[in-house]
Amino acid sequence: MPEETAPEPPTSEMEALKTAEAAGAADGGAAAAAAAAAAVEAAPAAAAEPEAAAGKSEPAKDEARDEREHLNLVFIGHVDAGKSTFCGQILYQTNQVDARTIEKYQAEAKEKNRDSWFLAFIMDTNEEERAKGKTVEVGRAHFDSEKKRYTILDAPGHKNYVPNMIAGACQADVGVLVISARKGEFETGFERGGQTREHALLAKTLGVRLLVVVINKMDDPTVKWSKERFEECKDKLSPFLKGCGYNVKKDVVFVPISALTAANVIAPFSEPGWIDGPCFLEVLDQLPACERNRDSALRLPILSKYKDMGTIVEGKVEQGTIRVGDKLCVMPNRVTVEALQRSAARLLFHGARGLPHAGLFVDRCSSCGSTRRRCRTSSAARTRASSSRTSPTRTSCPALWLRRAVASPAPP
């Protein structure tokens, strides 16, 4: 009758046995047997250590979140005050735009006989905007400092595009009112019919509590960094801003700059001799933190809606947090939807820490009737999406609020 052979141990155990036998050859048989038994027990534990380490590395990604405060900055003011140039200079000085791209924009601006517009081309990407030199849509960009992270909202200054300016101001935490110090331009924007007054009043009405008033074009030949001109603009603006509802001493900061030369924008500029305050970026870093209650229920007023492989709604998170996969409820119709995807282009949902922006793909919204195809939800939802061959042409969703669904009843 053939003798039964014991199964061979795993490779890691065989190596451990050989090591123990070699060590016990010099110490005797008893020591070798003890070492071999201990090695066999230690081998599975050693093999499990890499798996445990791999399991711990996954949540480490969630722990490495950027805890710096995020602020939305809306740049408002009269047309030709230098808002787009100012935004482009900030992005260039914070290394958000490379030198080769700047050279390309310089050549393009020179072809249009507008040599000083090359920085504005960073924000004004539309060919119509570049040809006319007027911002039409709200431009978006991002930059950061050592203390905070910022989103730029470059609002149009022309009176024909005030609705677009309102859409940008609705999303803002801090307003940057850009004023031109050039002789004649300040008076045109501040007098009746100018957009300086209208934009400042709209910003306060739309909930922008903090305002940074930037006196731009201080390097102009008609100004030449004159302290008297700066004080003149400040004295005329202060009573009006106070009438709008701003506390000028606490909520308003005046900063003289030159957007074209980047003077007093990122680094302090002390050449005139009378500027003793911080530069623009230092002013932003010193602003008080915005009060956002992350532990409360989600409140996200819907600002706009468009279709791109489904229905996408945009809004500002007033309180709470949001994650991909959350079940949400669209009010007032109490329609339950699910957040399916985040927009990486705008850095939304970063760490799910309650950023002021949010863009959501929803599975189905009965308010506007559109559905998302190839959605990663239930089979019933996929069936509904595949059976929908046409989508309605409505361009506005009547839903007012988007909140987290907690045992919400089914829609009627």
Per-residue pLDDT reduced to its tens digit, 76-122: 999 999 999 999 999 999 999 998 999 999 999 999 888 889 999 99
* pLDDT reading at 287 higher than 80: yes
* % of the chain exceeding 70 in pLDDT: 66
Residues 323 and 390 in one domain: yes
Angle between helices 11-24 and 29-63 (to 10 degrees): 140
Domain CATH for 188: 3.40.50.300
The last residue of a domain, from among 285, 319, 347: 285
Distance CA 201, CA 329 (A): 33
H or E segment to which residue 15 belongs: helix 11-24
Can you give the pLDDT at residue 132? 85
Can you give the pLDDT at residue 221? 93
Q: Which long-range contacts (CB under 8 A, 24 or more apart) does 320-325 make?
A: 320/293, 320/294, 320/295, 320/296, 320/354, 320/403, 320/404, 321/294, 321/352, 321/353, 321/354, 322/298, 322/349, 322/352, 322/354, 322/358, 322/360, 322/404, 323/349, 323/352, 324/349
Quote the DSSP letter at residue 275.
-
Can you give the pLDDT at residue 103? 93
Domain membership flag for residue 410 = no
Distance CA 12, CA 18 (A): 10
* pLDDT reading at 388 higher than 70: no
The pLDDT confidence band at residue 14, using thresholds 50, 70 and 90, is: low
Residues 93 and 117 in one domain: yes
What value does the mean pLDDT of the chain take? 74
Can you give the pLDDT at residue 8? 52
Write the pLDDT tens digit of every residue in 213-271. Answer: 999 999 999 999 999 999 999 999 999 999 999 999 999 999 999 999 999 999 999 88
Can you give the pLDDT at residue 346? 32
- Between 390 and 63, the more confident residue is 63
Can you give the pLDDT at residue 318? 81
The pLDDT confidence band at residue 401, using thresholds 50, 70 and 90, is: very low
Domain membership flag for residue 412 = no
- Residue 37 corresponds to which tokens in the numbers above? 């038994």
The last residue of a domain, from among 223, 250, 285: 285
* % of the chain exceeding 90 in pLDDT: 42
- Between 358 and 161, the more confident residue is 161
Domain CATH for 379: 2.40.30
Domain membership flag for residue 84 = yes
- The total domain count for the chain is 3
Residues 343 and 266 in one domain: no
Residues 21 and 113 in one domain: no
Domain membership flag for residue 46 = yes
202-216, 280-294, 301-315: the lowest-pLDDT one = 301-315
Residues 312 and 183 in one domain: no
Domain membership flag for residue 291 = no
Distance CA 370, CA 311 (A): 6
Residues 264 and 318 in one domain: no
Residues 309 and 264 in one domain: no
Domain membership flag for residue 186 = yes
* pLDDT reading at 369 higher than 50: no
Write the pLDDT tens digit of every residue in 120-160. Answer: 999 998 888 888 888 999 999 999 999 999 999 999 999 99
Query: Mean of the pLDDT values across residues 189-206?
Result: 89
Domain membership flag for residue 63 = no
- Residue 152 corresponds to which tokens in the numbers above? 């730029």
Residues 125 and 268 in one domain: yes
Residues 188 and 235 in one domain: yes
Residues 102 and 247 in one domain: yes
Residues 131 and 242 in one domain: yes
* pLDDT reading at 312 higher than 60: yes
Q: What are the φ and ψ backbone dihedral angles of 378, each rounded to 5 degrees?
A: -70, 165
The last residue of a domain, from among 257, 285, 313: 285
Domain membership flag for residue 209 = yes
Residue 40 and residue 118 in contact, taking contact as beta carbons nearer than 8 Å: no
In terms of residue numbers, what domain contains 40?
Answer: 11-56
Residues 79 and 142 in one domain: yes
- Between 209 and 3, the more confident residue is 209
Can you give the pLDDT at residue 403? 43
The pLDDT confidence band at residue 64, using thresholds 50, 70 and 90, is: low
Can you give the pLDDT at residue 305? 76
Residue with tokens 């890499």: 50
Can you give the pLDDT at residue 198? 92
